[in-house]
Amino acid sequence: MASSSSSSSADQVSRRAQILRNHLNQAIFSLSSSSSTSFESSPCISFSPPELSERIEFDTKEMRKILDGHNLEDRDWLFGLIRQSTLFNPRKLGGRVFVWPDYNQSMEQQREMTMKRIGYMLGQGVFEGWLTAQGPEAELRKLALLEVIGIFDHSLSVKLGVHFMLWGGAIQFFGTKRHHDKWLRVTENYAVKGCFAMSELGHGSNVRGIETVTTYDSKTGEFVINTPCESAQKYWIGGAANHATHTIVFSQLNINGKNQGVHAFIAQIRDLDGNISPNIRIADCGHKIGLNGVDNGRIWFDNVRIPRENLLNSVADVSPDGQYLSSIKDPDQRFAAFLAPLTSGRVTIAVNAVYSAKISLAIAIRYALTRRAFSVAPKEPEMLLLDYPSHQRRLLPLLAKTYALSFAANYLKMLYVNRTPDLNKTIHVVSSAFKAATTWHNMQTLQECREACGGQGLKTENRVGHMKAEYDVQSTFEGDNNVLMQQISKALFGEYVAAKKGNKPFKGLGLEHLNKTCPVISSQLTSSTLRCSQFQTDVFCLRERDLLNRFVAEVSEHQAKGKSKEYAFILSYQVAEDLGRAFSDRAILQTFTEAERALTAGPLKEILGHLRSMNALITLEEDSSFLRYGYLSVDHVAAVRKEVAKLCSELRPHALALVNSFGIPDAFLSPIAFNWLESNSWSSVQQQLGANKFASSI
């Protein structure tokens, strides 16, 4: 048996060897018979800046004004401050200086650098008026500077967002004059460092279910805060692990044995020397996949006593003798009023996500305009990556959507800074929609740009790959995106029921289109039809209208079978999520159309028309709901796909101008966005080694 097995193995080896010889003989014959193939050496690749070959047909500075929307001088001032300081880790590569955080540092070092950078900006007056100045202009300046900080480092912007927008914002909106006078100035100048203790180990999105309990001691005039169980520990609290001296504590308020719901209190967790306060326990959340410059921590409260005045009392108060006082008697309305101001976090997240997408696209597209691969014919130059239709299809639709979301983010900011109590519901719904849309888009864009940069996308210094980990958290903090989609649908359900019960027209949230006749989509979609803004609006409104009707019908059907309203919502989650996306997409298209309409005829308006069409059509192609519910036919979608390819070829010549319009300084991009040959040269390696030795000797 052994001999037979050995013979069989030898036969297999012989057959495989013969097959290999045949392949090699065919290859040699092919090479010798081909007159166009030779083994001549190719000249070395040389770098050519895209500015030398790419045309600019519109004013990129004017486009930047439209995209940024406000405070351009303030933005450029802060860009300059960051470039000037060695605290922002300047590195010279390829003849250029870049600034980005050193992610090779330990978690502890990154946290320390975050605080040093905050100290530097504080000394330069960056935070002046962030809490003490009033009015839309002051708020827009703060938002603009926070956007610049986010372009440099997400950890730094989150750390500041927690201190100013969450801790400071809670005092502004939940507090009254006594709190403003005592806390806002010292917060603005960092005499105290604040954090925001809402999330718990056992409760994140469900704020009403948090388990921290606060009671009132009328004998001493103090509130007493307790963590009654492990699931009630405050979790993921930015700033709590190392630096925060005070926190806003969200807790159930129990007065005379009756739970009055969630309220907010000010509690000290450290003294000004950094020592943890009595009856407070703090632990570190540890190393994360990103955002390690933020010291997320966990907090337990063990009979922590605070003055009665530390209740943030704009919505409700407790008298010295322990009586609960509120002008809003309904607990649901009180809870809604209580949480309404928290939309500031979603506003900043949405805008931050758009700028992250801009960074990655600027890097990937500039790289694709200088990096070549493969020749179409022998002895011809290799093609630029962005000249491949497939590469255009990967990046240019994302570029168009980033433009669309820029206009959406600007609309959201203006809505927020000009807010009134009547707008609370609108701001909540729109901020939920745009926060989800922008953060989902950002993660998709980062992944595609990482892949489009090939192996270079893996290098931390080229930013895109690492930014995936830095920004991944945006999909879940300040509201899980899928939960936000369902919240939007619940709000739309309420609008529908109210309109039908009162026999009134729809008003607000952009739902006025429901008062008109239902749009009809033509059976034949020509190129001009597909690019028509009215068609795009009609098909988006048709989807939203139909899904709202379906959602109401499905919820009502479940209720008719004996299910509670809340459980009916849960069972209808699929249509709810489709409806949430439909609302978001229609609202985004609406902001784009309004921005385009505001321009006079010319190159800017023309290129924005192409981008608006690309954004709309790529949504039609990629969102399966248009086919699933029959708004478009298979032939329609085929026509859409063909038009997307045409738009890619038309946008290709403008790619450089479109990313240059983002206004992001070169230093905030990465080496592969420029002379990647020089930045990877041996001389550059030697320069970097010398710089590292010098830095370590200081």
Residue ranges for the known binding site for FAD are: 238
| Of 139, 200, 478, 621, catalytic | 478
Q: What whole-number distance in Å separates Cα of residue 18 and Cα of residue 29?
A: 16
Does residue 478 have an active-site annotation?
A: yes
Q: Who contacts 74 (Cβ-Cβ below 8 Å, separation ≥6)?
A: 141, 144, 145
Residue 599 has which token pair?
């321009």
First to last CA, the chain: 75
Question: What are the φ and ψ backbone dihedral angles of 284, each rounded to 5 degrees?
Answer: -85, 140
With the C-alpha atoms ordered 324, 328, 331, 333, is the resulting torsion angle positive or negative?
negative
Q: What whole-number distance in Å separates Cα of residue 140 and Cα of residue 212?
A: 35
Question: What are the φ and ψ backbone dihedral angles of 130, each rounded to 5 degrees?
Answer: -65, -25
Residue 263 has which token pair?
């309220």
Alpha helices in 598-663 (DSSP H): 603-622, 625-628, 634-651, 655-660
Asked if residue 280 lies in contact with residue 300, where contact means CB atoms within 8 angstroms, the answer is: yes
Q: What whole-number distance in Å separates Cα of residue 439 and Cα of residue 414?
A: 19
Dihedral, 157, 162, 167, 168 alpha carbons, nearest 10: 10
367 CB neighbour count, 10 Å cutoff: 27
Q: What whole-number distance in Å separates Cα of residue 185 and Cα of residue 176?
A: 14
Residue 504 has which token pair?
């009134």
Q: What whole-number distance in Å separates Cα of residue 91 and Cα of residue 666?
A: 12
Q: What whole-number distance in Å separates Cα of residue 605 and Cα of residue 63?
A: 10
SS3 assignment, position 226: strand
Instruction: Report the relative pairing of strands 246-255 and 213-217 from DSSP bridges.
Output: parallel
Q: What whole-number distance in Å separates Cα of residue 459 and Cα of residue 680?
A: 12
Catalytic site positions: 478
